[in-house]
Amino acid sequence: AQSVTQLGSHVSVSEGALVLLRCNYSSSVPPYLFWYVQYPNQGLQLLLKYTTGATLVKGINGFEAEFKKSETSFHLTKPSAHMSDAAEYFCAVRHNQAGTALIFGKGTTLSVSS
């Protein structure tokens, strides 16, 4: 069975500071990995995903994540936080076999202060 652990349910940073949201996964086979963002009372929007190829993945809004198989991690980073980045972020894993569902972590709420 696959699972995702997001370390830290709440992360607070100052505007302009580095954003680091941690995600570790458990999977018996190399999975596909995703980061989604959710703004209040809205659905989820894909930030980026890793399926195959380059392990450093760039996404929207300046975010990127690196797949590290040896550490079973897929941490999300952004060099400089903006106020508009305040939201809830979800890491998700999916088996690379067709016909499987996306399994989410519990989420990390990012707060950005001025």
Partner 1 sequence: NAGVMQNPRHLVRRRGQEARLRCSPMKGHSHVYWYRQLPEEGLKFMVYLQKENIIDESGMPKERFSAEFPKEGPSILRIQQVVRGDSAAYFCASSPTADSGNTIYFGEGSWLTVV
- The binding track of 16-45 with respect to partner 1, each residue x by CB under 8 A or -, is ----------------x-x-x----xxxxx
**Residue 76 one-letter amino acid:** L
One of 9, 14, 80, 84 touching partner 1 (CB under 8 A): 9
Tokens 């550490």: give the residue.
71
Based on the shown chain and the rule CB under 8 A, indicate whether residue 113 belongs to the binding site for partner 1: no
Q: What is the C-alpha to C-alpha distance for residues 100 and 3, in angstroms, rounded to an integer?
A: 13
Binding segment (CB under 8 A) for partner 1, from list 56-64, 66-74, 79-87, 88-96: 88-96
Q: What is the C-alpha to C-alpha distance for residues 98 and 100, in angstroms, rounded to an integer?
A: 6
Q: What is the C-alpha to C-alpha distance for residues 106 and 88, in angstroms, rounded to an integer?
A: 10
Based on the shown chain and the rule CB under 8 A, indicate whether residue 100 belongs to the binding site for partner 1: yes
Min dist CB 76 to partner 1, Å, is 15
Nearer to partner 1, 98 or 114 (CB): 98
Q: What is the C-alpha to C-alpha distance for residues 40 and 31, in angstroms, rounded to an integer?
A: 29
**Half-sphere exposure of 57 toward its Cβ, with a 13 Å CA cutoff?**
23
Based on the shown chain and the rule CB under 8 A, indicate whether residue 80 belongs to the binding site for partner 1: no
Binding residues vs partner 1 (CB under 8 A) = 9, 32, 34, 36, 41-46, 49, 51-52, 90, 94-107
